[in-house]
Structure 1
């Protein structure tokens, strides 16, 4: 165990994700930028995070907010220059923080030089950098197969210049790369080395299981159409590609890697993360943040369902793998509005409760910007208020065709849209939340007057300072990083109760998922020694007592005898 702790630096880290467009604007153009991030590094150092994950900062026409990359070796002009990037990275390193960046290599922008060449003619040397096929039908008027795009419509676009179709799992402006081509793989490994040589410490890998395509690209079966991700993520060469990447690039740099594993089920997950296989450090499971999702529809969830998912994810890692812990990111709604209680009376306490859950797992925690303040979903009312390309695709596909009433789709989007996480960071009660002196690219949540960093930095019991204290506790308590995880009451409808055990150290976490107080009877083999941290909700628990009185949304970590 000692060797693992010494070598796997990323297991002990707490990661903070920055969505640069929405973090901090330094020049008043309404768009966050790299100098804005540099100016806020002391805020992140005080919070105590070890690693910053920067969402795409590369040159892009922004059809999908930077996930359509035009040049992998250039900084997006709205965000600044390469000199700005170098200063930002130097500032992070000076404060003892590392940086990981997004690796988006399932697809590029259709404005990338490779694709511009590829579409030029059928015999262009870079034609095979992407996936081109003839259409079906006598005149080739139908797409090559029935693959759907995640952003609506077919996953094929006919290119008039050559009469063939190219594959795009996402937007039309995001053509998929052809990883079967060894030149593509060499190009990707080279651009990874470019950034590692600059001093970044690893990568978050966007939809990385999708890079291996199904041989022959056969039609999906009818039952696969609504969830194509399970087919897209199960190409036969994915592990070969990742093992080569690890051997040639990641391992020589001791780089951290975290894969966005959309479409990877629990049985497949260890193939990606078992350290003996040499692929990825960890992956993002979406079974928690998508617990109550059926495609674009919001469904109900129960606490026993949530607990069962945590247990399954922990078991999936096994002795040789590692997990991620997160409740929000740039693709999911705000955690406190999703799993907590964003009513002003309960907002802070429930946000602290969720932080307790997220930061006490046997996994590397990933905070998303604003989590540490308990930022909430935006009160969207009209389709015109949304920016997200996914939302616009759903509107065209469902509402404009008459398949779904506008009011029905909007009701679900108010709970599920990706734009909830993308509204600008709330730094102060000033205009536009102190994010910009100009007009923000996306509206700031009106509750920034109550929920903002300036207010919370000055309040010792704030959501921010509770996150800071939890991170400190995690850093000094190996059992909360490496200890065995055990849910001691999986069927309780209100209380999440679990232990973390390492050698002779044992800890208990109790979280009341609701407003009503609960008297919780402890199992006979559990005796509380003392309280390590509480979210300010309940009275202290006496040494050795048989039950605990939990106030509404109370979350407490105890040391056990």
Structure 2
């Protein structure tokens, strides 16, 4: 592994700053609050989660049309989250614990209040007019073409600016006008943003909607076959004209070259493309180092579905490429909610942390937090994602998050599902996460080894992770009944290293002819030297 490939060994942890920890009692999480809880993430001992890097969702100044993804200043901290000095302190304290810091890089759009857009919309003759995508109305006075916003509630992807008589493009809310990346001055301005944060010590970027940065220069309609689509859709013969264009890779290569000047920085792409043949173009080459495997978190609770999805991407990736695996984010419903039980969340945790890839854990997943949609009248998010963003459950009464009124109410299971309670229980999900992460840190096979799935009867997902001197069998039971699996070509027995079930005795030999899994159980079995 070269110096600039630390991410290959890493476990990432996503923090949604508004919801992680509030230091000043205003009910909104902030940067000093994150600093106070860094030891939960990694204090250098197995009593912490042991993660290697944190990804911070946006903390920049914003009018909050899309909760921070509408940025009005790319080189500052919103006062609700703190100051640049607070950010510098966070980086320093994280680095002191061996935790890298990844920040969200939103390049597709800005806020309508950003000075660039304020100037752009001031006059058709503005020097920054072509920093954004403007177009005359269609002959009927309507939007210039049939492109749609990614958010259903926002309708078309165009809003008419009455003062100048033209429409501006917004892939998301009308408060998020799209930048024109075909303009060299936009590229220069955004390079300055990259360097601003890299010079402050950040270790890389999570690239928001990396596939959307370039649009058809002629602004042609999407073909009828895909005109209904608000987000990426796979089609055998046509492409959408407002995303996933080949030219986007020029921007990502430019970013990668800039990162390379800083030695050990990396880029993680959000590329909402479920078509593996197109997704693999975005990572593992000279562009971004890694990207989320979107199809992974779209699967039903079925072992064969996960095997087919993981194997499908593995068969298409560049040989040395690694995807990033996550089962929940600020956009994606939490694992316990989606799959229905804490027991399944334990199996999901073992799967995500043992596949050949970069695992990413969303805050609160380590204790099994559920979605908690707010009461009627308190909905805030334009796309209905409030329930995935509730404050972190630090303790049974919520004061671990804030001493004030939280910006969103906590989940109804706060008293039972919280860090303080689970930290005292060796049978808790938090304890399992800690064991899995720390076991992975010490395993050559899990961090850098090969992956090969094995045939197994029933609804199981079974695979080998292998490195010189270490072979591990991972067997996951996706059913609520006992399941016997006996993959061929293995030794008659192996030592059970870890189980998702607290009642399984570990550190002892177990038969592999067959290996009997309890309901909703996953195990890691050491097979011996290879």
> TM-score category by the smaller chain?
over 0.9
The correspondence for 1:511, drawn from 476, 481, 492, is 476
Q: Matched residues in 1 for 2:357 and 2:177: separation?
A: 34
The correspondence for 2:450, drawn from 474, 484, 489, is 484
Deviations 1:511-538 (A, max 9, x none): 1113222233342434332111112253
Q: Matched residues in 2 for 1:323 and 1:486: separation?
A: 15
Give the aligned partner of residue 352 of structure 2. 358
Q: Is the 8 A contact 2:148 2:229 kept in 1?
A: no
Deviations 1:259-306 (A, max 9, x none): 10013621123322233xx110101121122236xxxxxxxx643222
Deviations 1:372-423 (A, max 9, x none): 111112266x6534322113xxxxxxxxxxxxxxxxxxxxxxxxxx323201
Q: Matched residues in 2 for 1:94 and 1:504: separation?
A: 32
Q: Matched residues in 2 for 1:106 and 1:379: separation?
A: 28
Give the aligned partner of residue 387 of structure 1. 380
Residue aligned with 1:501, SS: strand
Give the aligned partner of residue 126 of structure 2. 124
Offset at 1:543? 4.5
Q: Is the 8 A contact 1:537 1:554 kept in 2?
A: no
Mapping of residues 362-511 of structure 1, within 5 Å: 362-378=356-372, 384-391=377-384, 418-430=385-397, 432=398, 434-489=400-455, 492-511=457-476
Q: Matched residues in 1 for 2:260 and 2:442: separation?
A: 28
Asked if 1:279 is matched to 2:272, the reply is no
Give the aligned partner of residue 236 of structure 2. none
The correspondence for 1:212, drawn from 209, 214, 223, is 214
Give the aligned partner of residue 332 of structure 2. 332
Give the aligned partner of residue 298 of structure 2. 290
Q: Is the 8 A contact 1:196 1:253 kept in 2?
A: no
Give the aligned partner of residue 546 of structure 1. 513
Offset at 1:496? 1.6
What are structure 1's unaligned runs of at least 5 residues? 293-300, 392-417
Offset at 1:362? 0.8
Offset at 1:545? 4.2
- Greater Cα shift, 8-17 or 245-254: 245-254
Q: Matched residues in 1 for 2:255 and 2:442: separation?
A: 34
- With over 3 angstroms needed to count, the CA separation of the structure-2 counterparts of 1:548 and 1:320, relative to structure 1, is closer
Mapping of residues 510-529 of structure 1, within 5 Å: 510-529=475-494
Q: Matched residues in 2 for 1:478 and 1:226: separation?
A: 47
Q: Is the 8 A contact 1:214 1:236 kept in 2?
A: no
Asked if 1:43 is matched to 2:40, the reply is yes
Offset at 1:25? 1.0
Deviations 1:141-183 (A, max 9, x none): 2100000101230000000110000000000000000000000
Q: Is the 8 A contact 2:306 2:461 kept in 1?
A: no
Q: Matched residues in 2 for 1:24 and 1:504: separation?
A: 42
Q: Is the 8 A contact 1:257 1:281 kept in 2?
A: yes
Give the aligned partner of residue 304 of structure 1. 304
Deviations 1:320-354 (A, max 9, x none): 31110111111000112223x32xxxx2x332221
Give the aligned partner of residue 30 of structure 2. 33
The correspondence for 1:20, drawn from 10, 14, 17, is 17
Q: Is the 8 A contact 2:444 2:470 kept in 1?
A: no
Q: Matched residues in 2 for 1:555 and 1:270: separation?
A: 29
Q: Is the 8 A contact 2:107 2:179 kept in 1?
A: yes
Offset at 1:47? 1.0
Residue aligned with 2:462, SS: strand
Q: Matched residues in 2 for 1:539 and 1:516: separation?
A: 19
Offset at 1:539? 4.9
Q: Is the 8 A contact 2:451 2:466 kept in 1?
A: yes
Residue aligned with 2:254, SS: helix
Offset at 1:471? 0.9
Give the aligned partner of residue 45 of structure 2. none
Q: Matched residues in 1 for 2:208 and 2:120: separation?
A: 23
Q: Matched residues in 2 for 1:433 and 1:352: separation?
A: 27
- With over 3 angstroms needed to count, the CA separation of the structure-2 counterparts of 1:318 and 1:69, relative to structure 1, is same
Q: Is the 8 A contact 1:427 1:454 kept in 2?
A: yes
Mapping of residues 219-298 of structure 1, within 5 Å: 219-230=221-232, 231=240, 232-263=242-273, 265-275=275-285, 278-291=286-299
Residue aligned with 1:91, SS: helix
Offset at 1:49? 0.6
Offset at 1:227? 2.8
Give the aligned partner of residue 398 of structure 1. none
Q: Matched residues in 1 for 2:314 and 2:459: separation?
A: 21
- Give the structure with the larger helix fraction: 1
- Greater Cα shift, 118-127 or 547-556: 547-556
What are structure 2's unaligned runs of at least 5 residues? 43-47, 233-239
- With over 3 angstroms needed to count, the CA separation of the structure-2 counterparts of 1:383 and 1:220, relative to structure 1, is farther
Q: Matched residues in 1 for 2:512 and 2:330: separation?
A: 43
Asked if 1:66 is matched to 2:68, the reply is yes
TM-score, scaled relative to structure 1: 0.87
Alignment RMSD, CA only? Answer: 1.9
| Matched length | 511
Q: Matched residues in 2 for 1:246 and 1:6: separation?
A: 15
Q: Matched residues in 1 for 2:212 and 2:246: separation?
A: 11
Offset at 1:44? 0.9
